Every structure is written in structure tokens, then in C-alpha cells.
Structure 1
Amino acid sequence: MSRRSSRSQALPAPAASCPCGLPSPYRDCCGRLHRGEGAAPTAELLMRSRFSAFSVGDEGYLLRTWHPATRPPRVDLDRATRWVRLEVLETTGGSTFHTEGTVRFRAHYVDRGSAGHMEEHSRFVRHEGDWVYVGAL
């Protein structure tokens, strides 16, 4: 999800639904992970929280949850792109009992007034006890 620019988008209202697609408000769902009040217990929940980080413009969270071996020096978020909806298409492994997992997803966006989507099959591993994003398969 590499649309680029450095300006963050506004955070959702506290009671607004989480951008990740789960029914909880952002503040209680991905917002608490973004604030460092916990870690995603599964690869899928990490992927959802990373989508939400793209949606709200949280570059720091994206970098913190990227494996150090594949992490870029920075993430430039494109302010003209709004990440609006996530579909999780398939998961393998990635539970609280696994050390590796994959998540295949479709992320929907609006870029300069035009709707689009991108698909990725992502690999996640545990690093120092927490799930981290490694990269696309």
C-alpha cells in the first residue's frame, strides 16, 4: 500500500467505526494498538491495524510493526489517497499459537476522486514476541 506523501490524515472521531472493518470504534480497536496500549494477538489483526494506520496516516505504527530486516527507512503516505475499506480474503497460520502467518487482502481506496483497490498476499512472523509484517509474497 505504497501511495506516497508525508502528510497524515485526520483521525476518525472517537466513536467512529474502525477503518479495519471490525465493528468496534476506532479508539477501542486499532486505535489502542496505534497508541501502544497492546499488541495484535494474531497476524490478521496486525494486518487490520496496519490498514487502519494507512487510513489514519500513522507512519510510526507502520514502521514499528514492520520486520527490521525488511523495514524501509520511512513510509511516505499520499494525502490524496484515502484508504476506505478492507476485505480479508484468506489467512493461513498467524494465530496465537503460530510463529508465521499469511493474510491475503483487498484494500479499497479513493485517489483524487477515483475509486480503486489493491490486493496483496502478506507474510507475517513473530519478532521478539510480537507479530510484524515481513512483506508481500
Structure 2
Amino acid sequence: MPRLPIHRSVPDIGYLSAQLFDDLGIVQTVVAGDTVYVSGIAPLTDTGGAVDVVSTDLAEQLTYVLDVLDRSLASAGTDRSGLVAWTIYTTDMPGLAQCVSILKDWVGEHRPTSTWIGCASFIHPDQLLELTATAVR
């Protein structure tokens, strides 16, 4: 049986630098056949070589992460209508629960399966969430 083509990339979408992904030994997106896997999107920037959180507000972090998800999906040839699943990790489950309207507005009629996981911490001390996703194109 022939193997599906796999394309691994760190697309230039105005998110984190390719060098940071290389330093971590990961990529932002993997496309296997028509399935798109998006690596954990953190509410971080790395301008000037320093990694920093975009905001200390959970709603602002979530909005930023969803914007990066849009750009990641587009770079892989799909959009939010192709989203089938996401997992959201957070250090603030009550805060994330208060952001349900942001999530619902973002997905619209194309609702994915979803898992929320509470965790103790992230790579940056002010980071409150991270999101990973799977889509089809």
C-alpha cells in the first residue's frame, strides 16, 4: 500500500520564528494526505530573540491563538470549516469556561470535537493556554 505524502513545515505566518521551532525540534504544521495537524499554538511572540506572552489576559491570549490557528490552517490549504478537533490546555479552567462565547463565535457552524485539559504550567510563566488542532482539506 503506498504511503501518503507527508509535508512538515513552519509556515511564515507572522507567528514564532522558524529558528525557535528548529531549536525545539518541532514544526508548526504537518499535512499527511488531506489531514492537517497543527502543533500547540501558544500565545507567545519571539521578536528580537526573546520569547514573551502577548497578554496576561486569558481572553486576549485565546483570541491571539485562534488568529494563529486561522493562519496555520490557511498555510496548509484549509480553513476553520475543515477543523475537526482541537485540544485546549489551560492553567485556568474557570477562565477558559468564561471564554466559551469566543470559541463558539470563532467556529460558527463548523463545530469541532473538543477536549479541555487543565495543567500546572507552560513554557512561559504568564502563559494561560495552548491549543492544538486537527483539520482536513
TM-score, normalised with respect to structure 2: 0.34
Question: Which structure carries more helix by proportion?
Answer: 2
Q: Which has the higher contact order (CA 8 A, sep 6+)?
A: 2
TM-score, normalised with respect to structure 1: 0.34
Please say which structure displays the higher CA radius of gyration: 2
